[in-house]
Chain A
Amino acid sequence: MTPRYDGIVIGGGVNGLVAATVLARAGRKILLLERRDGIGGQVRSTEFAPGFKSAALTGDAGWLPSGVVRAVRLAVPELVLPEATLAVRADEREWLVLSRDLGRSAETIRRYSARDAQAWAGFCTRLAKHAGFLAALYQLPPPDIDAARPGELLPLLGLAWKLRGLGRRDMVELLRTVPLAVQELLDDEFESEPLKAAIAASAIRELRQGPRSGGTAFGLLHSQVGAAPGAIRGSGYWKAGPDALAAALAAAARTSGVEIRAGAEVAAVLAREDRVTGVALAHGEEIQSPVVLSSLDPARTLLGLVDPVWLDPEFLLAVRNIKFRGSVVKVSYALDALPDFAGLPGGSTDLTGTLSLSGSLLELERAADAAKYGRISERPHVEVQLPSLRWPDLAPSGKHVLVAHAQWAPFRLRNGSWDAETREALGDRISQTIEQAAPGFGALVREREVLTPADLAQRYGLTEGALNHGEMGLDQILFMRPVAGAARYAMPLSGLYLCGAGAHPGYGSSGGPGWLAAKRVLSDV
């Protein structure tokens, strides 16, 4: 007889750990199952070449909502906030470096446009205000249009009040901004191309669209949630290492009494009489529990783990219609020495942030065009980080790790497939792009690991290699996430909950979905 649990959490990433901890802290007996042999999911670092490690997917700390910290009594690891957050390559020997400090950024911007320098602080303040509104929205369950319980209407009224509290000008601006293309927003504000490109690159990360697509201005707001005004890509990093958050969360989970089993792949969610009864593991073992929370993405959970006969065909259609469209490639490079990014003024101190190699909106847009037709960008948009500057342990002494994030390389290729040849050809293309910004880079490369969307899908169990568990577009957020009518964590199979980034508030909020999903479970059972 296998032990009985009050709840099983599938997946040991940040959201799974948070959900498990919140439930365990409420006295529930919780089992967390992780397919891979270590927990941490996307925030976990791996050795990709002998002696070289990288956290290929998330180098930055991201936004950790205060509600999550409180709910799991998290001992928040120490954060480092580098001054230079984002440098964009303006041309062959010119970089525009944005800093945490509004004034300092304005000074840099002034070299390109005095008008833009003047507008910078105002723009950043407004952006932060708008992002602040989103942050509030992201710490509540998604609004329910059919809200039956009066208690649920109160936080919504609070939000409406907060929206009004933005003031007339900002409120209108927010309403107008959200559906805009980020390029339209930026064209209204600025004239300097590198500046616009730097900001736009944040808006289109992990989206299939380019900066001229509608709704990408929302992408910008979303990327700034939790950030200080002007800190574009400025969430900083964990001082102790890329795995610090996973370790802290795992510690919190264990302290709370969560039982964690790694190397335990769930093959199916079991059900009887329209209710969840537990899970079956890949090796055949069955574990009983009336509640199952899945932090896997909605398609993996609902199409992959649940016998379709338990679910409404229309609902399953809606799940199949979720836009994942992973089109990001991650490349980890093992380097013999620090590359020389020609012309970067601060030298290595500017290298602890993010470097974006696309200096104009046009480059971004052209790179995005290919994805619309199911092709890989001829000239991909590449951003790089040098994690070994943050954490020297990641590489042998004197050696370095460079992680490149490139777009666009669609999971579904119209012609061809993601075989080794395609993968390495793309790797070469990315290397060449870096070579242009850092002459001599190629000679420093000892080894590289290219993770295409197909590899990401495979290694991390992500549908279509989508890191975000479904694009964060206006039609897939709030009450539309993961699908309309099932946005409040409870799935249409009684006892099954979604607690990963595929649920509100989605990708970019560390532990937010896990926390809110656990709260939902506590109010249900």
Chain B
Amino acid sequence: MLKTTPFHSRTAPLVQGQAWRRWAGYMVASAYELLHEREYAAIRNSAALLDVSPLYKYLVTGPDAVRLLDRMVTRNVTKCGLNQVMYTTWCDVRGKVIDDGTISRLGERQFRLTSAEPNLRWLSLNAAGLDAAIEEVSERIGALALQGPLSRAILAQLCDADLAGLKYFRLLQTTARGIPLTISRTGYTGDLGFELWVDASRAVELWDLLVQAGTAYGITPAGIWALDLARIEAGLVMLDVDYHSAQHALIPAQESSPLELGLEWTVSWDKGPYNGRSALRAERERGAAWRLAGLAVDWESLESLYREVGLPPQLPGIAWRTSVPVYRGGRQIGYASSGCWSPLLKQFLALAHLQAPHFAPGTPVRFELTVEHRRLQADARVVKLPFYDPARKRA
């Protein structure tokens, strides 16, 4: 049997089509309803409730906690204030990304790290010789993402904390009707939203509270399919989909640096030593050979390819995760690693790895499309990420 999350007793009855999938050894809902469209809409219009408990979570404590994280990740953790959250990547010595996640400073000497893959071993290796303790709390903590324009209003029903004053990538500790809770203003949707961290033993209570308080605001449990659409619109990469961990890649070509993933902003150039620093400096010096960029497929071009065979455009309703070649001037210059039809933007979008110099915004490229069993190419152009960036995300 796969593992189940602390919210399973609440989520399981809601999965109408038995559409489950694996996530880090857990079973989670792909979609609760038979179609995921309403779940996606909730993210952008009201509030969606997502069970993100399978994230790996580690508590890092001790006098050297800062030093440990700072030597491990690319961001400058010494600048991470109390109750601040940082999104960051971490690399091996060759400057290739191992994983990405968030670091929350819960106390002077206490941090929580979240990651997509298990990182206990890597944390332990980095901690050798340092005075820091690492504790995996993945199973102990349930995690919910409450995402959408009305998410703040729902939370305000339940706790007295100053949610209006909680800035983007900050957190606060509070209680909701007596349930101790950490609320961070973070998420994987690119919208206004929060992530709630609760002891697994109180998880079900919290779910019930949220559903109760949120019903009037259209709170909607949402599955991975909805989340996937939102995160592509938000231009957020996913491990094992858009890139491979340097620890698991079988050949160097499968590895990526933060620069190549368009995550240069997470790399600090002036902080102390950390894994991959010299390699990243050298890469910056010579310029990254690849970059992850957004692609928007030209609708006229796409439509005409389908029209030729007498069809209207046939696009999948959920995000796709297969590698798609991208061409320019008759030559393959990269590949898209995931994409979707954006219900909001009414555009066919993709996240693509493009070789230098073809990743400048506005660059015209050709995107491979299989139309009625024939491989054709549609016009597309490089766009700046994120595709969708509402002001309310940070406001």
Chain A residues with a Cβ under 8 A of chain B: 274, 303, 307-310, 312-317, 320
Contact = CB atoms under 8 A, between A and B. Distances in A.
A307 B131 CA distance: 12
A485 to B, nearest CB: 11
A333 to B, nearest CB: 40
Nearest to B278: A274
B14 interface: no
B277 A274 contact: yes
B125 A317 contact: yes
Given A310-B273, A313-B125, 4 more contacts: A308-B128, A309-B274, A312-B93, A313-B128
Interface string B261-275: 000000000001111
A308 B130 contact: yes
Contacts of A315: 93
B13 interface: no
Interface of B: 67, 71, 92-93, 122, 125-126, 128-130, 272-275, 277-278
Per DSSP, are chain A's interface residues mostly helix, strand or loop, or mixed?
helix
Contacts, number: 35
A290 to B, nearest CB: 17
A314 B125 contact: yes
A313 B125 CA distance: 5
Contact of B129 (A274, A312, A314, A316): A316
A274 B128 contact: no
A310 B126 CA distance: 11
Nearest to A494: B278
Contact of B71 (A274, A303, A309): A309
Given A274-B278, A308-B128, A320-B128, A313 B273 contact: no
Nearest to B124: A313
12 contacts: A307-B129, A308-B71, A309-B67, A309-B130, A309-B272, A309-B274, A313-B122, A313-B126, A314-B125, A315-B93, A316-B128, A316-B129
A300 to B, nearest CB: 13
Nearest to B72: A313
Interface centre among B92, B125, B126 (most CB of A within 10 A): B125
Contacts of B278: 274
B130 A314 contact: no
Contact of B275 (A274, A307, A313, A320): A313
A491 to B, nearest CB: 13
A315 B275 CA distance: 11
A315 B125 CA distance: 10
B275 A312 contact: yes
B18 to A, nearest CB: 43
A314 B93 contact: yes
A219 B281 CA distance: 45
B323 to A, nearest CB: 29
Contacts of A314: 92-93, 125
Nearest to A313: B125
Contacts of B274: 309
Given A309-B67, A313-B125, A313-B126, A274 B273 contact: yes
